[in-house]
Amino acid sequence: MKLKPYPKYKDSGVPWLGEVPEHWELRKIKFLFREREERSQTSNLKLLSFSRKKGLILYSSLNNRPPSSSDLSKYKVCRLGNLLMNRMQAWSGMFTDVRLEGVVSPDYSVFDVIDKNSTSVSYYSLLFKTRTWVDLFANASRGVGDGFNRLYTPSFGAIYALFPPVEEQNHIVRYLDWKTAQINKFIRNKRRLIQLLKEQKQNIINQAVTKGINPNVEMKDSGVEWLGQIPAHWAVRKLKHCICGKLKYGANASGTDYSSEYPRYIRITDFNSDGYLDDKNKLSLDIDRFEEYLLEEGDLLFARSGATVGKVFQCKKLDEPSCFAGYLIKAKPNQNVITSDFLYLYTQSLVFDRWKISIFSKATIENIGADKYSQLLLVVPALQEQDKIVEFIKKETALIDKAIARTEREIELIQEYRTRLVSDVVTGKLDVRGIEVPEVAEEELLMDDEDLTEVDDIMEDEEIDEEE
């Protein structure tokens, strides 16, 4: 069924909002929510973590990491039915209706609904994520620097919010739960398709970089358990013998606001598992202090720790001068021994994954420093054969890459549709009254579309040791 606008609208009286459904009201947030200040003290409630991807979850589920502080007595208690706001991220829509009791950081704000009979917390957690209110929260936040601005309760409470009848609030939430569950299921299926395509591509790469492209070639035992047999005329070499100089750690420094006058500062979070740079949240680094960290064509960057340990980025056709951060390790391939393209493809293979697993099984934490990367064993054909293998892989995986790109675009479009749908419905641009909404299972509501994506990366602006 195609959704239509409400039959009648009225001027809201607020310039930034414009017209609203005729029977809706406006109220300041302070008349809808009241901040609560219950502290943990000796409470046995569990510590919770609130993230954009996972929502409100038990902190203990985050890779079994212990909390930074064992003293939770000053932490805030949140109860079922509360509204939770991350004060430092209100400008980006970090709100949720609490469905899991526990304690949260003192820097969060916890709100009780003033009148449960007229206010749906779930409706407002959706409304406060829309672009209109996110912009209002950004303008009302105060602090030192954009990254440290907080939305304090008086400023939050002074902002107007839409106030539909509670029955309509609840129906809007049920409708959007239903549609979001459908959209998320579609996205998960598309992500699984991408995962299968990537596995198919990795198998092609693995076969070519470890066995070559001649099916009749004579083979020999590599002497390495996780590597198996390789062509008899290939050599096995350590990474440190295939690069120019030594592996190098990145700059031990925080980036600055992006400026084209300075090199771009590449961090772990700037590239994904497919090796593509993300242009969101770009930073720069002062070249006068960090010239030694400039990157050159063909350099490879290895992630050394955190959730993305072992991820590799190839510096190829960079469109601006760039340098790299301390959680990355640079390798400059010796082009007389191994080409940059062949080495990069090797790091996308199954045998490279097996090598990483063998490293992790001997360590208490997942971390691969320069000392370990330097010992990585590579299979190295002659340079001319490397070039042929690279071209073969490009040809064999071209259709897979197109299918992945097409599917990723489908995901982007449906995500944009989901965002627009939520915004249009909660702000009254579209009328969902009278639409029969089926029951949605609780587990479907809890499932997001990020189940196959990477978890949040580590913070990269901490100071680190230059060597391990």
286-301 pLDDT, tens per residue?
A: 877 778 899 999 999 9
List the structure tokens of 428: 């009254």
List the structure tokens of 423: 């915004």
**pLDDT of amino acid 451:** 44
The CATH architecture of the domain made up of 196-390 is Alpha-Beta Complex (3.90)
**pLDDT of amino acid 455:** 34
**pLDDT of amino acid 141:** 92
The candidate with the shortest Cα–Cα distance to 378, out of 201, 249, 226, is 226
More confident residue, 53 or 444: 53
Predicted confidence band of residue 466 (pLDDT cuts 50, 70, 90): very low
**Pairwise CA distance, residues 314 & 393, whole Å:** 16
The candidate with the shortest Cα–Cα distance to 310, out of 372, 259, 252, is 372
**pLDDT of amino acid 144:** 62
Considering the entire predicted model, what is its pTM?
A: 0.81
Domain range annotation of the chain: 25-163, 196-390
Check if 25-163 and 196-390 are the same fold: yes
List the structure tokens of 280: 């969101």
**pLDDT of amino acid 38:** 87
144-154 pLDDT, tens per residue?
A: 655 568 999 99
Pick the most confident of 62-71, 183-192, 256-265, 357-366: 183-192
pLDDT(349) > 80? yes
Lowest mean pLDDT among 148-152, 161-165, 202-206: 148-152
Q: Are 96 and 108 in contact (CB under 8 A)?
A: no
19-41 pLDDT, tens per residue?
A: 999 999 999 999 999 999 888 77
**Pairwise CA distance, residues 189 & 204, whole Å:** 23
CA 209 vs CA 91, 133, 350, 386: distances in Å: 47, 52, 10, 8
Q: Looking up tokens 């090199």, which residue turns up?
A: 263
- Phi and psi at 84, nearest 5°, equal -110, 135
**Pairwise CA distance, residues 405 & 427, whole Å:** 33
215-241 pLDDT, tens per residue?
A: 999 999 998 888 899 999 999 999 999
- CATH code for the domain defined by 25-163: 3.90.220.20
pLDDT(462) > 60? no
Q: What percent of the chain has pLDDT over 70?
A: 89
256-273 in b/e burial notation, b at 16+ Cβ within 10 A?
A: eeeeeebbbbbbbbbbee
308-319 pLDDT, tens per residue?
A: 778 899 998 888
When the pLDDT of each residue in the chain is averaged and rounded to a whole number, the result is 88
CA 276 vs CA 279, 313, 407: distances in Å: 10, 8, 16
